[in-house]
Chains A and B, each alone.
Chain A
């Protein structure tokens, strides 16, 4: 018999290395005389899209388009260290480093422009739509490229190096008290499953995922991260089991360690709560790992809702489901006697 159930899972997650470990990202920036800018950072984009995020951050701050920014990343010969692509930290930590570096390069640019425009203070200068000029006076502005070109002829360069260190203190080993992480990410997901009581096979029919991502700098990437996390969570809940024997992995192949295929992943509806994180670049914070955490609990709770068995050892393979159903039946029989 096929039975359906619905389950809920919630997660909160401290992003960054945490526990007082030095969590430092760095970036170099140069604003060029063709109206573009280069960002150099050691952060590795493994597909989550950090390079796009840095281009967007730099473009936003310089009044340019993302395609005007060349992000050069993860080259130990040329780029400054930005730590690992781990701990859900690259948008927040390295994003902050990039923003600080862009702002630093901008300081000397605005000073130079204030002088050129005979504006008493750099506060009166703005960058917008590829132009640099005096705020509120459209007659006094010029293309950013022209301004940087003039500066270049006079030996001025707009180059910066900056870093950003995440807030983290070690917890007290005696009391466990402290402030190990900042910021925290929050998420909640609901899964609907169908359990076949004859075979023990679980099919996930639908997942609705809601995540607090701070400000979503790139909604397409946020959706991609959520869907990817849900798929990995389904694998974690139902399929993936690393088998060890005397320190050796017994199933080091995709034929014996199964991950979800297109047929295992349901329709995923992703929503995000945009509660701007005050310390993040333009209000953003990380999403990577939190996207998969609630999925497991939601799926396991949905199985319980469907067939009334509590799976306490992952993954919930057909064998484990059938065993749990058999145990439940036996318990009921014993009670009945």
Chain B
């Protein structure tokens, strides 16, 4: 066992974990942040995307120990029903959610893109979202939602 410190959604945590635990498991099972989903578990689908120190990562491929001392944003830290993030608002407005399993990862990838570049081009949006797989929407409305969020300001 080992001790790590994480800042998750602006809250500090000190955790005693197994060195082999994935960041995804620590977020979901130790912190109860179930918004982060496990899809493929091998870094292909992006459902487990979280933001670590300003970079999107697949939390299934990151050991929790590697994230020691990091600032992490999960979907729970992005917005809520009363105060949705502009990206979340745009997803709802455009109808970019179908089954919803990819949505937390999609929202985090979009948020991180817009944090870094408030007015991305269509190509930049497609590239930024290409690490997140979606089987329902055909991406069409997701890309439109990200565009809308960028136009309405971040």
Contact = CB atoms under 8 A, between A and B. Distances in A.
| Interface majority SS (helix, strand, loop, mixed), chain B | loop
Contacts of A255: 40, 42, 44
Interface size class of A (residues with CB under 8 A): 20 to 34
B84 interface: no
Given A228-B138, A263-B127, A48 B143 contact: no
A254 B41 CA distance: 10
A332 interface: no
A229 B44 contact: no
B132 interface: yes
Interface stretch (A67-75, A97-105, A151-159, A216-224): A216-224
Nearest to B99: A47
A259 B135 contact: yes
A262 B132 contact: yes
Max chain A Cβ within 10 angstroms of own Cβ: one of B101, B125, B131, B138: B138
A215 B58 CA distance: 42
A47 B45 contact: no
A263 B130 contact: yes
A230 to B, nearest CB: 5
A232 B98 CA distance: 15
Interface string B37-50: 00110101100000
B137 interface: yes
B139 A227 contact: yes
Interface string B72-101: 000000000000000000000001011111
Given A253-B40, A263-B126, A224 B133 contact: no
Contacts of B44: 253-255
Interface of A: 46-49, 220-221, 223-224, 226-232, 253-255, 259-263, 265, 267-268
